[in-house]
Structure 1
C-alpha cells in the first residue's frame, strides 16, 4: 500500500512539474510582465471610464502618458531583445573551446566561467541579464567591469557532471514593465566538485593481511608461541596458561605469533544517496590528500555502474570525475547500488566506504553487504549539522499540550513514520554491529562526532 501511495505521489509531483514548466514556457513568450499588464489594463480602463466618460483632462493626460510609456517600453524591449538574441547566438557559436579537458568548478564558492557579453549601451532604459538554468540550483552573478562587458560568475549548490550549460537570457526595461527572454545552450563539458567545508585531512588505519614471514616458503605463516592475550570465547583449552592462572587467577592464552604485513592495495567506494554531498566531499579529500597511498582502487555509484558493470578508477583525475558523476539528478531515478559488484571485482579484504547518514535505504543495503561478504567495511560518513533541537520547557509543554495533541491527530500515519525515522541513530547503531568501524565527520565544524550526537541534530 505504501509503495502504491509513493508511486502515485511521485507521478503527481512529475505532472505538477510538467504543468509548471508549460505555464512558465507560455509566460516567457509574453512580453509584458505582471507590473506592465496591470499598468496597461488600469491605464486603458481609467482612460475609457474616466478620461472619455467623465471628460477628466488630468486623468486623460496621465493615462495617455502611461500608455505611451508602456508601449514605448514594449517596442524597445522586444526590438532590443531580438537584436541581442542574434548577437548572443552568434557569440555562442563563434566562441572557441579553449579548454582541453572538462572545466572543474567547486560547489559553494564563486567560480568564473570565462563567459562574458557586452552590456547594452546603445538602447536607453534597457538592461541585459541572464541566469543558468542547467545545472539546476546554480546562482549566477553578472558583474559589469571596466571593459563595459558583463562577466559571469557562478556559485553551484551541489556537485554534478554535465556536457552543456543552459542559460536563460532576459532583456528587461528599467521600469520592469516588459521582458523578453529566451533559452540558449552552450556546449561546455564541466564537472562540479563537492564543497570541502571545514574538512581537514585525517589519519586512516591501514589494513593488515597475513604475510609469509618464514624462511621456508612451504611452511605456514605461524611463529613461536609468543602472543599472549586474555582468554576469549572460542579459544582452545590447550592454549590456556594454567600455571599463570594458578598464580594470579587470570585466564590468559598463549598463541603462535602470526606474520602480518600492511595491505598495499587500498579500496574505496562512494555510495550515492539522499544527502550525500558531505560524504562525496570526504571522498574527494581522501583522494586529493593521498590518504589511500600509491596503489588504490576507487569506485562510485552512477559512474557507469547503472549498466550493470562495476567501474574502477586508479588515477586522481578519473576518480574526481566519478565523484562528480555520482550525483543523481532530482528528476531522474537514483543510481543503482554498485558496492556488491565492486567488491566482487576487486577481491579486497578491506574497503573504505563513504556514505550518507540520511538515507536509511542505503544504510540497510550496507548492512546486508557487510553481513553477506567476507570483505571488512570501514565506513566514513559525512554529515552537515546545521543546528540542534532545543528541548521544550515544562511550561511550554503544559501550555501547548492540547494544541500538540490536535496537530498530531491531523498528521497522517505516513508523516508520523517519516518523522520518527528522521533520526539516523537507530540505523547507524544497527550498522555498527556488522561493520568493522564507523567514523562520522561533520563538514560544518570539521570535528568527529558520535552516533549519539545525531539524536538531537538537524542534518542539512
Structure 2
C-alpha cells in the first residue's frame, strides 16, 4: 500500500514542469524584481527580471504541452525489433512534431532493457529513435521513459509508456574464429545403418553433382577415365555423443556469447554433430538456430549461471557425455563454484573457453620494466579479472583457452599468468 502511494505521488511530481534550477531562477528573479528593480526604479533590471520570468513560463508551458502530446498521442511502432550487439539500429519510432519545436529536447530510456543506449536523430519528418545495445536480450514489450525538457534546464516532465513491441538483440559474432578450437575435442563412434544420416566414413562413391566440394573429387580416377566421381559418406547412426558444448552465463559473458555463437554455427555448417545447451534452457539442442536462441535467453540466468554443468547428465537422454566444452564468462563470480561442483559431481572432462574483448596483456620488454609503460587502469582491472578466472579453473583441473572476439585469435593463458599477478 505504501509503495503504491509512493509511486503515485512520484508520478504526480514528475508532471510538475519545473526543475530545481527553474525554481531557484524564479525565486531569484522574483526577489530582484520586488526589492531591487521596483524599489530602485532600475528599468534595465526590471526588463531582465520580467524577461527571465517570461522565458521560464514559456519554456514550462512548451515542455508541459509537448509532454502531454507524447503521453496521449498514438505512436505507431513495428511489432518487432531485431538488432545486433554494438550495432546501431532504428526502432521505427518517429516523433514528427519535435523537429519543429525549438528549445525543447526529449530523452528516452528503456527501463526494462539494460545496456541499451537510446538516441534521437532529427530529420525532415521528425525525430527518429535509434538504439545501440551492449547486451544480448529478448523482451516481449518495451517500457519507455520519456523525459521532456528545455535546453536551459529550467523545466522538465517525465512519464512512462509501455509499447507492445518485441525486441531481440543477438550477440555480435567473433571475427575469424576458427572451429578448430573445439573440433579436435569431438569424439564418438558411428555404427553403419541404412536409416542413418550420411555422416559416416567416406567409403562410397557417386557421380559428381553441381555444388559438391571439389576436395571430395577422385582426381586420380578422373585422370584415368575422364569421369568425375566424388566420395560419399556412408549412412550411419551415432551410438553415443561424447561431447557437448554448453554456455555458462555470468558477469562479463557477452564476449563468450559471441564466441560460442560463431563456433557452434560454423561447426553445424561444417556438418559436425554437436549438442549444445545454455544456462536457463531445459534441454540440449543440435540446431544452430535454437542454440543462438538459448544463448540470448541465458542473459536472464546470470544469477544462477554455472548450474548447466551439473545438470547436463539429467537433461540429455540416451547419451553418454564424457567431455564438455564450456564457454565461460571473463569475470569471476558464483558461477565458478557451480562449474567446479558440477565437474566433481558429473566426472566430466571440461575444456573452458573464455571470450574476451579486452586488450592483450603487455609483453615484457627486453630492457625496460613493465611499469615504465602506461596502462589504462580499466584495462588492468579487466586483465586481473580474466586472470582470476584462469587461475581458479586451472586449480580445479579445468583446461582453459582464451579467444579474443574482435580478432578471433587464441591467446595463451600462460601470457596472462606471467603478466598479471
- Confirm or deny: 8 A CA contact 1:423 1:455 kept in the other structure: no
Q: Which residue of 2 aligns with 1:234?
A: none
TM-score by length of 1: 0.66
Pairing 1:170–2:147 present: yes
Instruction: Work out the CA distance in 2 between the residues paired with 1:446 and 1:325.
Output: 24
Match of residue 442, structure 1, among 404, 409, 412? 404
Instruction: Work out the CA distance in 2 between the residues paired with 1:208 and 1:334.
Output: 30
Pairing 1:338–2:314 present: no
- Confirm or deny: 8 A CA contact 2:191 2:239 kept in the other structure: no
Q: Which residue of 2 aligns with 1:276?
A: 253
- Confirm or deny: 8 A CA contact 2:117 2:133 kept in the other structure: yes
Q: Which residue of 2 aligns with 1:326?
A: 298
- Confirm or deny: 8 A CA contact 1:356 1:382 kept in the other structure: yes
Q: Which residue of 2 aligns with 1:62?
A: 48
Q: Which residue of 1 aligns with 2:34?
A: 48
- Confirm or deny: 8 A CA contact 2:60 2:155 kept in the other structure: yes
- Confirm or deny: 8 A CA contact 1:269 1:352 kept in the other structure: yes
Identify unmatched segments of 5+ residues in structure 1.
1-19, 214-260, 304-309, 398-418
Q: Which residue of 1 aligns with 2:96?
A: 118
- Confirm or deny: 8 A CA contact 1:105 1:191 kept in the other structure: yes
Q: 1:386 to 1:27 in 2, by over 3 A?
A: farther
Pairing 1:75–2:61 present: yes
- Confirm or deny: 8 A CA contact 1:265 1:297 kept in the other structure: no
TM-score by length of 2: 0.71
Instruction: Work out the CA distance in 2 between the residues paired with 1:296 and 1:151.
Output: 43
Q: 1:68 to 1:138 in 2, by over 3 A?
A: same
Secondary structure at the aligned position of 1:151 is classed as: strand
Match of residue 16, structure 2, among 21, 25, 30? 30
- Confirm or deny: 8 A CA contact 2:106 2:146 kept in the other structure: yes
Structure exhibiting the larger radius of gyration computed from Cα positions: 1
Q: Which residue of 1 aligns with 2:274?
A: 296
Q: 1:74 to 1:319 in 2, by over 3 A?
A: same
Instruction: Work out the CA distance in 2 between the residues paired with 1:209 and 1:340.
Output: 22
Pairing 1:160–2:113 present: no
The structural deviation recorded for 1:66 is: 0.6
Q: Which residue of 2 aligns with 1:370?
A: 343
Match of residue 379, structure 1, among 323, 328, 352? 352
Q: Which residue of 2 aligns with 1:108?
A: 86
The structural deviation recorded for 1:64 is: 0.9
Q: Which residue of 1 aligns with 2:114?
A: 136
Q: Which residue of 1 aligns with 2:199?
A: none
Secondary structure at the aligned position of 1:105 is classed as: strand
The structural deviation recorded for 1:105 is: 1.6
- Confirm or deny: 8 A CA contact 2:327 2:353 kept in the other structure: yes
Secondary structure at the aligned position of 2:75 is classed as: helix
Secondary structure at the aligned position of 2:184 is classed as: coil
Instruction: Work out the CA distance in 2 between the residues paired with 1:315 and 1:453.
Output: 35
Pairs within 5 Å for 1:180-259: 180-198=157-175, 200-203=177-180, 204-209=183-188
